[in-house]
Structure 1
Amino acid sequence: NCFEFGNGSCPGTFRSSGIRGAMYLFMTGAIFFTIFGNLAIIICVSYFKQLRSPTNFLILSMAVTDFLLGLTVMPYSMVRSVENCWYFGLTFCKVHYSFDLMLCVTSIFHLCSIALDRFYAICYPLHYSSKVTISVIKRMLAVCWSVPAAFALGVSFSEAYASGIEGYQILDACSRSCLVIVNKLWGTVLFTVGFFTPGCIMLGIYVKKFLVSKKHARLMSSMPENANHEKPNQLSKNKDRKAAKTLSIVMGVFLICWFPCFFTVLIDPFLNFSSPALLFDALTWCGYFNSTCNPLIYGFFYPWFRKALRYILGKIFQTRFYTASL
């Protein structure tokens, strides 16, 4: 019985045209920067031979993930968030949600893989080139893509996430809001797989890396002060400061963007689904912004990416510039 949902089958919206226009403008800007920021990294790493390292292949794959999120998921989420209605049908709602979940978790898995790669490079530098090979990176990428894909597609189309929720079938059939409500079990599983486990791995790795960097700095400081060691000591201190800054930015952005979203998914079933839909929309977009920030952190933060982009923009018509030294 869909009588209670009314003829429109969409919740009423009280937003003025000015507010809706501002929301469209803001979200379109986020989509634009997500798409073209990650596209710039894809072009740079794919084109320049000097950037084709194991670490940069991880960054390239993450950029592809975030690019697809901005291109295929965020525009439909924007329409749903602004109009407070889903115009694209029930089947596409499930497809959209499955791709949304898959690409978001895949992006988080890539963050975790990059942390593992950098941990091995800093803590075991002499063995890094022989242990972290292209074949190892391919296996890591296979895990980063296959596990979230199997998890998201299986959960979405089986509707196991809604098992035991009273009234969900009527809501799913009658409402045109594309609401996805998870039960207690799958809320806990999603929080553990998508945020808690990768977050703990990343945090532990970054703490270990920071401690190793401090140990290197102490060793450098204990060396006799003379002209030969003054420059290495200064370089080591600068590198440690840069490492500390990078770690704080990476973890800060990750936690700010994803913790509120996953925490709400975890606790909402235990609060009898009392969280408003507007809150879920806002927190979902907060998570999307992590894909917007990733190009700034992992791409343009490094000088050779900025130089590669300048080559592409300024010398694109010159021949053989893809072999330029960066």
Structure 2
Amino acid sequence: MSALTHTICPDVRFFLKLNLTSLVYRPISQFEIDLIITWSILFIIILVPNALLVGVICFKKSLWTHSSVLVGSLCLANILFCFLYILPVKIMVIGNSIHPFTNIYCQLSHNVIQFAFVCCMNFHICSISLEKFIAITSPFWYNQISVYKSVMFGIILLICWILPTFVAFLPLIIDWWRFCPYYCLMSEIKANRRISLQAWHVFWAFLMFLLPTIVTIIFYVRIFLVAKDHASRIRAENQSSSTSTSSPFGLKAVKTVAIVVGVYVFLQTPYNVYQVINVLDKTLSRRLNKYHVREWLFYLASWNPVASPIIYGFFNKNLRDGVMSLFWRCKTVRARASSSSTLLS
């Protein structure tokens, strides 16, 4: 009875019996080979700065602050995104198999893992903006050591990880989707299939991008306004700067907001707009798919895990000093090693 409510699952074993091996073990095209090389480069570029920041935060106890922990959690999400999605899907090109685990993971990677990690990373970016907003609007409360503050940031971290994961599995929980054990394709519910698909992708774009983007922009605009007000008070109190039109503090706030919000919106917007177009206008999406527009837009969006650790590591003075001290330490160790080898020779 359940098979009648959902689309039929293909079976690779049936295709292999008919000697239709190309449906199971599809040859990789030249375009896919180029993509593998391109994604491999991005994989390394994502891994290096994120692993560096996580290492600095873990091994330097002075960086165990709420701000650094949020950035470290974001970097951890970026690293897991590399190993759980980019590596198996974009580099190894996981596909149809005779093993059920491989097929189930293939289905999860395209429909669940991608959404969960992208949403998780965007929620972290939103949470970092919230943390900075609290720090600049309530500095006395923020600088106090309080159990309530630690609990609040703990809840924020749990929301960043658990909510995207739960929502990603929601179509499976409510039985919209079912696993096909012998093919890399989800079995979808037949009733209102097109409407359900459109509603899910629109909701996906809203939760994964639009909601965290709006919240992030609101928080950073508020931070900018507070910084501008602070700069105005400094100008009013300092008579010697009354002739100047702007202060370094205000200019720094403008640059920070412009870089953080601008880079995020530039990288994420095109792909999420395309996701909505893809389900609402099939004719236009088919034309765009001829040029692999979706693949390249997602590749552009996947540069966000590269930009985020660099931006937040640069604008966080403690993290910046920690990374610089690590470089100086490595440089000192290398210099000592070279000098000792020279003496021995």
What is the aligned-residue RMSD (CA, Å)? Answer: 3.5
1:275 and 2:285 aligned = yes
Shift of the alpha carbon at 1:176? 5.7
Match of 1:86 in 2: 95
1:158-204 CA-to-partner distances (Å, cap 9, x unmatched) read 66379xxxxxx9xx899868999971111121122111111111111
Shift of the alpha carbon at 1:7? 5.0
Q: How many residues align?
A: 298
Instruction: Tell me: CA distance 1:68–1:273, structure 2 relative to 1, closer, same or farther (3 Å).
Output: farther
- Is the contact between residue 27 and residue 78 of structure 1 (CA under 8 Å) also seen in structure 2? yes
1:77 and 2:78 aligned = no
1:273-321 CA-to-partner distances (Å, cap 9, x unmatched) read 7524522222222221111211111114445434323433453698xxx
Match of 2:77 in 1: 65
Give the Cα–Cα distance (whole angstroms) in 2 for the partners of residues 268 and 296 of structure 1.
Answer: 32
Question: Which residue among 95, 104, 126 is the counterpart of 2:108?
Answer: 95
Give the Cα–Cα distance (whole angstroms) in 2 for the partners of residues 254 and 44 of structure 1.
Answer: 24
Letter in 1 for 2:220: Y
Match of 1:35 in 2: 47
Question: What is the SS of the residue equivalent to 1:207?
Answer: helix
Instruction: Tell me: CA distance 1:269–1:314, structure 2 relative to 1, closer, same or farther (3 Å).
Output: same
1:54 and 2:66 aligned = yes
- Is the contact between residue 86 and residue 177 of structure 1 (CA under 8 Å) also seen in structure 2? no
Give the Cα–Cα distance (whole angstroms) in 2 for the partners of residues 306 and 282 of structure 1.
Answer: 32
Shift of the alpha carbon at 1:143? 0.8
Letter in 1 for 2:266: I
Shift of the alpha carbon at 1:116? 0.7
Instruction: Tell me: CA distance 1:126–1:51, structure 2 relative to 1, closer, same or farther (3 Å).
Output: same
Give the Cα–Cα distance (whole angstroms) in 1 for the partners of residues 234 and 37 of structure 2.
Answer: 51
1:185 and 2:199 aligned = yes
Q: Which has the larger radius of gyration?
A: 2
Give the Cα–Cα distance (whole angstroms) in 1 for the partners of residues 63 and 91 of structure 2.
Answer: 37
- Is the contact between residue 24 and residue 96 of structure 2 (CA under 8 Å) also seen in structure 1? no
Shift of the alpha carbon at 1:156? 5.2
Give the Cα–Cα distance (whole angstroms) in 2 for the partners of residues 199 and 71 of structure 1.
Answer: 25
Match of 1:104 in 2: 118
- Is the contact between residue 37 and residue 295 of structure 1 (CA under 8 Å) also seen in structure 2? yes
List runs of 5+ in structure 1 lacking aligned partners.
163-168, 319-326
Give the Cα–Cα distance (whole angstroms) in 1 for the partners of residues 22 and 182 of structure 2.
Answer: 10
- Is the contact between residue 9 and residue 176 of structure 1 (CA under 8 Å) also seen in structure 2? no
Q: What does 1:134-153 correspond to in 2, within 5 Å?
A: 134-153=150-169
Question: What is the SS of the residue equivalent to 1:86?
Answer: coil
Q: What does 1:14-29 correspond to in 2, within 5 Å?
A: 16=30, 22-29=34-41
- Is the contact between residue 187 and residue 269 of structure 1 (CA under 8 Å) also seen in structure 2? yes
Question: What is the SS of the residue equivalent to 2:265?
Answer: helix
- Is the contact between residue 95 and residue 184 of structure 2 (CA under 8 Å) also seen in structure 1? yes
1:195 and 2:205 aligned = no
Match of 1:241 in 2: 251
Percent identical pairs in the alignment equals 19
Instruction: Tell me: CA distance 1:175–1:282, structure 2 relative to 1, closer, same or farther (3 Å).
Output: farther
Question: Which residue among 130, 134, 146 is the counterpart of 1:120?
Answer: 134
Instruction: Tell me: CA distance 1:37–1:224, structure 2 relative to 1, closer, same or farther (3 Å).
Output: closer
Give the Cα–Cα distance (whole angstroms) in 2 for the partners of residues 274 and 103 of structure 1.
Answer: 28
Letter in 2 for 1:211: L
Q: TM-score, normalised by structure 2?
A: 0.74
Match of 1:253 in 2: 263
List runs of 5+ in structure 2 lacking aligned partners.
1-7, 189-193, 334-345
Question: Which has the higher mean CA deviation after the structures are superposed, 239-248 or 297-306?
Answer: 297-306
- Is the contact between residue 119 and residue 208 of structure 2 (CA under 8 Å) also seen in structure 1? yes
